[in-house]
Structure 1
Amino acid sequence: MKKLFLLVCLFSSFSILAQNVSGISKDAFAHTFSIVARDTTTGEMAVGVQSHWFSVGSIVSWGRSGVGVVATQSFVNPAYGPEGLDLMAKGIPADEALARLVENDEGRAFRQVAFLDVNGNVSAFTGEKCVEAAEDVQGKNFSVQANMMLNDKVVPAMAEAFVRFSDLPLAERVVKAMEAGQEAGGDIRGKQSAALIVVGPQKTSKSWEDKKIDLRVDDHTTPVKELGRLLKVHRAYEHMNKGDLAVEANDMEKALQEYGAAEKMFPDNLEMQYWKAVALANSGRMEEATPIFKKIFAQDDNWREMTRRLPASGLLTISKEELEQLTQ
């Protein structure tokens, strides 16, 4: 009860402050820790963030392929996201772009922002009114920033972890950094939401291709852990998508490899088992495919009906006799 009272008082205090300080009267809270980073091998850029605030990813993390990424937090001015990306899209380096926006922001004393551009330039700003522990630190192709942390160990721990796990893909490195930040103390209020975005090194006019990874955990008791789980699911479905493309190209061996890779990651997932069985059947390996199909049908009979419908779409190329025998 005492803890709840303190949290209510804290929220009320921030509400009164926001109403009386010029420049932040309408701004959302997102006191948090985050990382912006670039992979020097692939050129991919990422933002990872966690906070004890609902849906932190909807307001803190911004990115655009071939341009850069932005994390805007503390008393959030969301304009830093799109406006910062627009400036960097014009070729303005991260430090100059950030400086321009900070200079024109009446609420800059309460802001914490980090920019990273496609060339790996990084810049961050932590306003003097950000709640301690608040700081930012930059390294080669990354910046870590945090405010309202339990202690001053969070930012160094995140930076160290990002450097240490350099052998991992960018998204996994970012999650490792976030895990380290939480283990070091994290947000003094606890944890609630997290997000991860990854954009590519080349500009694209196709908005649906802009984000390579876009994951959000809006409300969870262990958001970074859940984010890591979702990233693993994402990787598995990357294999599934590649398997689908192989089926379209009638390359069943490639499809089997990709579906099999996905199934190894999530062996209890019926969808992954199913499409592996389809690929086996289309390769003439009905003896291997049949027991997989039968096992799936026993768990959920809807897959049996699904199988009956596939030949009309050309996704299952077995004979009518084989289909009848399989689905009876």
Structure 2
Amino acid sequence: MTYSIIARHPVTGEFGVACQSHFFGVGSAVNWAEAGAGAIVTQSFVNRDYGALGIERFRAGESAPAVLADLLAEDPHPELRQVAMVDHNGRFAVHTGARCVPVRGSRQGGSFSVQGNMLAGEDVLDAMAAAAETGLEAGQRLATVLVQALRAAERAGGDARGSQAAGIMVVGPHRTASPRQEVLVDLRVEDSTDPVGELERLVERHSLFEDIVSVLFAEGLMLGPFREPGPGATDAALDRLARAAAELGEENPEAALWRAVLLLRAGRNGEATDALARLYATRPDLRAFLARLREAGFLDAAAARGTAEQEVGLSAPDIDQSPRELP
């Protein structure tokens, strides 16, 4: 019914899971992970308790082999389940029930496990394992490794019934007071003729928006009164936004917009004027949005003075003369 990969990155310590199935919305049922605790996939005739209860017990410090053995003992139908787990110490445990539909099985490496049932053939598992091994040895980011393993499975035949849905989840290596803040990637394709291809596109797009978010949430650069966090921080942020803008193109001006805002906040009004002119050429409606950003405190007096005022559509008397902290 499903094939999946579960991994712990040998360098970063991040945990990740990814899956594909010819079944609607598979990701929300199969993929479970929590920062610093571990990760779980539960598939075949899915019992979500393996995910929810397994993560709960990982938090308490229990090992994957012990947790899986206990949950299988409590399950009235373990013969129908396929489950893989990795705990906070990188210990793996895998179960494939005797009544999971063939072709079924799993392959393990030092930092990953791949598993599946209802597969087109054994080659699917071999291809996934080889892709995971290659990616991890090359030091690729975990999300890339997971997607490439799914892509390798599809090339080898994948699910015998076809393709419909896919999902991926990557979390951080350490426990914190707020584990949800450590969810690094959480994406799903619920219903598609090419779910792995679409998931790959979303993972690439996610990476671009990570660069945007890194600037949007930067104290001083974008939050509160402008101040440069360190030497060269503004230029580095502008470069990240410029690369993201080039990738996104004119149809998505998000990165270009925030790059112009950062130029304004930094008082680089000549560059800001040029950036805004290009932005307004295709999105004149964003003039009003820039004015709203000023009202919200993103553009303080020092950043908004000069030639860029006219491009923003603000006049000097309208500009608040004292920088404001954002709520």
Assess same fold via TM > 0.5: yes
Q: Aligned in 2, Cα 1:326/1:209: closer, same or farther, shift over 3 Å?
A: closer
* Runs of 4+ that moved beyond 6 A: none
Give the corresponding residue for 1:282: 265
Query: Over the residues paired in the alignment, what is the CA RMSD in angstroms?
Result: 1.8
- Secondary structure of 1:231's counterpart equals helix
Structure 2: distance between partners of 1:185 and 1:287: 55
Asked if the contact 1:35/1:48 (under 8 Å) is kept, the reply is yes
Q: Which of 212-221 and 241-250 deviates more?
A: 241-250
The 5 A counterparts of 1:117-266 are 117-166=87-136, 167-244=139-216, 245=218, 246-248=221-223, 250-251=227-228, 252-266=234-248
TM-score, normalised by the number of residues in structure 2: 0.86
Structure 2: distance between partners of 1:310 and 1:285: 17
| CA distances 1:228-251 after superposition (whole Å, capped 9, x unpaired) | 111111111111111121322633
Amino acid at match of 1:212: L
Identity of matched residues, %: 37
| CA distances 1:179-206 after superposition (whole Å, capped 9, x unpaired) | 0011100011111111000111111231
Give the corresponding residue for 1:17: none
What runs of 5+ residues in structure 2 fail to find an aligned partner? 229-233, 315-327
Structure 1: distance between partners of 2:39 and 2:308: 52
Structure 1: distance between partners of 2:311 and 2:128: 57
Give the corresponding residue for 2:54: 84
Q: Which of 303-312 and 167-176 deviates more?
A: 303-312
Shift of 1:325: 4.5
Structure 2: distance between partners of 1:261 and 1:163: 30
In the alignment, structure 1 residue 313 sits paired with structure 2 residue 296:
yes
Structure 1: distance between partners of 2:103 and 2:311: 67
- Secondary structure of 2:304's counterpart equals coil
Asked if the contact 1:51/1:191 (under 8 Å) is kept, the reply is yes
Asked if the contact 2:272/2:308 (under 8 Å) is kept, the reply is no
